[in-house]
Structure 1
Amino acid sequence: MKRYETQELKIYNSIKGEKEVFKPINDGMVGMYVCGPTVYNNVHLGNCRTFISFDLVFRYLKHLGYKIRYVRNITDAGHLENDAEEGEDRIAKKARLEELEPMEIVQKYTIDFHDILSLFNNIPPSIEPTATGHIVEQIEIIKKIIDNGLAYEANGNVYFDVLKYNENNHYGILSGRKIEDLIANTRSLAGQEEKKNPQDFALWKRAEPQHIMRWPSPWGVGFPGWHIECTVMSSKYLGDSFDIHGGGMDLKFPHHECEIAQGKAASGKDPVNYWMHANMLTLNGKKMAKSTGNNILPRELFTGENTNLSKAYAPSVARFFMLQANYRSILDFSDEALQAAEKGFHRLMNAYQDIELLESSASSSFDVKQWKQSCYDAMNDDFNSPILIAQLFEAVKFINSVKAEKARISKADQELLKQTLSDFIFDVLGLEETEEANNDDTEKIDGLVSILIKIRNKARADKDFTTADTVRDQLIEMGIELKDGKDGTTYSLKS
């Protein structure tokens, strides 16, 4: 018997605004599509949180025994600046700035994306298609939408007819926006006079002479709109209707709204049964932005080479921290929160290692079977990882009580406890034991460096600069770099 046959999973469906019991279209099989990155720059932490959230979904569905096809695309063409209808292609712009070919930019930042997600221990998707690899299919589905009377060509551009579609459908069903408001709030852009209605969106764009990325089509040389690629790749690999579509909250409108309209205009079917949206990540209580300096890239997090955090954090610690919040909640990155997560992570890993050392007895003072189901209950409640983690720490408390001889555990419960912790820590949450967790050295390093910082500070106060410099230089040789700031001295570990 598969685990999914005994567990009732509920998913918060964004299109319904409530949790619903999950019932896949095909028994025992799940089709899931997640919008991937536009590969024109290094992947940022906000993106990583989204992909870690859906890695958790992927892992849990696999753990329940479903056969799952997970499709996540690579956008390597058609995504214009500021998600607009006009302007420069993001990849083409980056290629111009770095004086490279667009496909060099794509290759460079796709590799970075894969490397970073690998460090976070994400499982690769089943299929990772690219927009440029599906130009023919995009042209064919646009022709189909035109034939169905819901798109039109104008001067080499093809636009989706939103008002025509809205006569028999609901454009705005996902985002909750009303068509009247969309009409009133439409910005005036160059080329708008070509459209029947200002809110119509591009399926195909005419390529101006300076546009590098271009393909022949029935409407002239051009390139696809950003939204059409996901409709094409999701339907090609998962069918006209599939189970789960995920992405960041910022994609709900217009991207996902347009996907629904395109899919229904092409096939006549609702393309997705369960829409899932991961929320944003902030840093020190503010939106992340390169322009303000309130920003940190994953590699800067792992190396400690940044101005926002006092030290480096292992990828598994950062993953653990992100999973301490539900994927639908806003999560704030801060040094204090990461330090607390790091300590919790080591407590969890150390307790797991200690299970083997426990002395068993004839009976247990902890209902392991009931606790195990509480772990499933947490994940069955819309993949509620923070509640799952809280349940794991109930087991940590029990393990420590057995170690202190304040509780008992039978041999059978000891084995069940270890297997369940392994399932949820490693298979479901996707955590990995770090060197710090294995050696339990983190707090010792903190303490020792703190003592050396005090010695150095006293030497500087006494104007004994030789001693102060010796402490600093010898720490650097050991891979520990001191940082003097207005709030005192901190350190980071060099890889």
Structure 2
Amino acid sequence: MMQKLILYNSLTNKKELFKPVKEGYVGMYVCGPTVYSNVHLGNVRTFMSFDMIFRYFLHLGYKVRYVRNITDAGHLTDDSQEDKISKKARLEQLEPMEIVQKYTTDFHQILEKFNFLPPSIEPTATGHIMEQIETIQTILNNGLAYEVNGSVYFDVLRYNEKEHYGILSKRNIEDAIENTRVLDGQSDKKNPQDFALWKKAEPEHIQRWNSPWGEGFPGWHLECTVMSTKYLGEEFDIHGGGMDLKFPHHECEIAQAQACNHVNPVRYWLHGNMLTMNGKKMAKSTGNNILPEEIFTGENENISKAFAPSVARFFMMQAHYRSILDFSNDAILAAEKGFNRLMEAVDLSKKLKAGEESTLDIRSWQEKCYEAMNDDFNSPILIANLFEAVRWINLINDGKESLVQSDLDLLNLALNDFVFDILGLENSMDKNDDSRIVDGLVHLLIEMRKVARANKDWALSDKIRDELLAVGVQLKDGKDGTTYSLI
């Protein structure tokens, strides 16, 4: 069921009709994580947006090749010329590949809990060193890079003579020159804005590979150019990532691809917006931060209880992927109420009895749902339409509206498509009856403990808390009451 789909293209800063390179096929590349730490919630939001987009293309009947890489080498830190993975390996006294394995596993486990579909291909930077070396050599041969003391740099000014470095970020080269800060180790460059294609490995650098220019490691920008074009071709449909990657990372990707293949590599650039917390930027240093796992356990002072992964997913789907989204305890509590209302209605809809006539226009409602998704994947408008269906389901259940069987079947099919297949939500109550029983029993004991405390029966109160802890249930007393998490 191919639909007319409109995308907001960051390259042109306007909405455009989606026309794939090859009819019926979609090639999509999304910049994956640099695996040196636990994946944070802002990253999850970006990947979740593209999981929804992936799901929608599949629902429309496209054959999709979705490539999302793993950066396991070459990502320099902001304040030095040290690779993030090598730095973490040195701090934790582990091999770099131990760091990579540890945090790649964490990344996959978190995304699985959020019900992500796996990408078609998940290439790693270290698995494509030879291709990166070949690409560097091609750019050198084309006169758009230079080698100095074992490192190779992209010549931005030379490239800008014929192409536009800044075409995506809408920066001009003069501003780039003026605003480029000088870092240690950049004295080898012809110009400060030139970026590394290959870096010479200093004696203390752990990750290193042989190359025609000596032992070193690839530049971060180069990895994505090589892996995207290897698996999707010199020109492909969609490149996605967070807005923070637009410059310099994605800008450099365009320049490298143009310098190597003489073609603009991507038709549509899609960028997800940032996630804030309590109205401020997330930061570990200030404590204004939360990890996905802490949402599931409730073990973070910024939230009052634990939340199911699908509740957190629903919370994120309530905002458009290009909008800033603010996470707070009140916001996710409200999302949980909305999620539960939606799931209860989905369950109730399956039990509705058909009437003799249809007093509601289900086909028109279904079309509105598609119109929302076809307008740059507008998930909040889709959710608003889903709650219109929730209202209808309750009216039908109360006997105030009715649907014939064929319309009732269409309603249930559409709900399944949009709620589960496209938004990727899971009905946790329906999925695991045992968990509902456990939840009910624990809350019963919490209420008994509350009564005991009110009666100053501290012995019974402590006994309930300690016995639950002994079987892996940890109680957490807060200003809004007592919550629990499984440990």
TM-score normalised by structure 1 residue count = 0.93
Question: Which residue, out of 100, 110, 114, partners 1:120?
Answer: 114
Q: Which residue of 2 aligns with 1:17?
A: 13
AA aligned to 1:11 is L
3-state DSSP of counterpart to 1:57 = helix
Q: Which residue of 2 aligns with 1:290?
A: 284
Question: Which residue, out of 172, 177, 181, partners 1:183?
Answer: 177
Runs (5+) with no aligned partner, structure 2: none
Q: Are 1:456 and 1:471, in contact at CA under 8 Å, matched by a contact in 2?
A: no
Question: Which residue, out of 28, 36, 39, partners 1:43?
Answer: 39
Does structure 1 residue 203 correspond to structure 2 residue 197?
A: yes
Does structure 1 residue 26 correspond to structure 2 residue 22?
A: yes
Shift of 1:466: 2.7
> How many Å separate the matches in 2 of 1:38 and 1:32?
19
User: After superposition, what is the alpha-carbon deviation per residue over 1:419-478, rounded to whole angstroms, capped at 9, x for unaligned?
Assistant: 011111111111111037876789978985785565355345xxx433443454455467
> How many Å separate the matches in 1 of 2:186 and 2:91?
28
Percent of paired sites with the same residue: 64
Shift of 1:380: 0.2
3-state DSSP of counterpart to 2:124 = coil
Q: Which residue of 2 aligns with 1:466?
A: 459
Distance 1:459 1:88, change over 3 A: farther
Moved more, 123-132 or 346-355: 346-355
Q: Which residue of 2 aligns with 1:69?
A: 65
Shift of 1:492: 2.3
Shift of 1:409: 0.9
Runs (5+) with no aligned partner, structure 1: none
Q: Are 2:445 and 2:464, in contact at CA under 8 Å, matched by a contact in 1?
A: no
Q: Which residue of 2 aligns with 1:327?
A: 321
Q: Which residue of 1 aligns with 2:482?
A: 490
Distance 1:210 1:447, change over 3 A: closer
Distance 1:475 1:336, change over 3 A: farther
Does structure 1 residue 143 correspond to structure 2 residue 103?
A: no
AA aligned to 1:492 is Y
> How many Å separate the matches in 2 of 1:286 and 1:437?
35
3-state DSSP of counterpart to 2:326 = strand
Moved more, 465-474 or 273-282: 465-474
5 Å-filtered alignment, 1:267-346, equals 267-346=261-340
> How many Å separate the matches in 1 of 2:430 and 2:448?
20
Does structure 1 residue 396 correspond to structure 2 residue 402?
A: no
Moved more, 98-107 or 371-380: 98-107
3-state DSSP of counterpart to 1:192 = coil
The size of the alignment, in residue pairs, is: 485
Shift of 1:193: 2.7
> How many Å separate the matches in 2 of 1:399 and 1:148?
64
Question: Which residue, out of 167, 172, 185, partners 2:166?
Answer: 172
User: After superposition, what is the alpha-carbon deviation per residue over 1:369-421, rounded to whole angstroms, capped at 9, x for unaligned?
Assistant: 00000010000010011111111111111011011111111111000000011
> How many Å separate the matches in 2 of 1:441 and 1:373?
38
RMSD: 2.1
Moved more, 61-70 or 191-200: 191-200
AA aligned to 2:462 is D
> How many Å separate the matches in 2 of 1:405 and 1:442?
34
Q: Are 2:295 and 2:306, in contact at CA under 8 Å, matched by a contact in 1?
A: yes
AA aligned to 1:46 is G
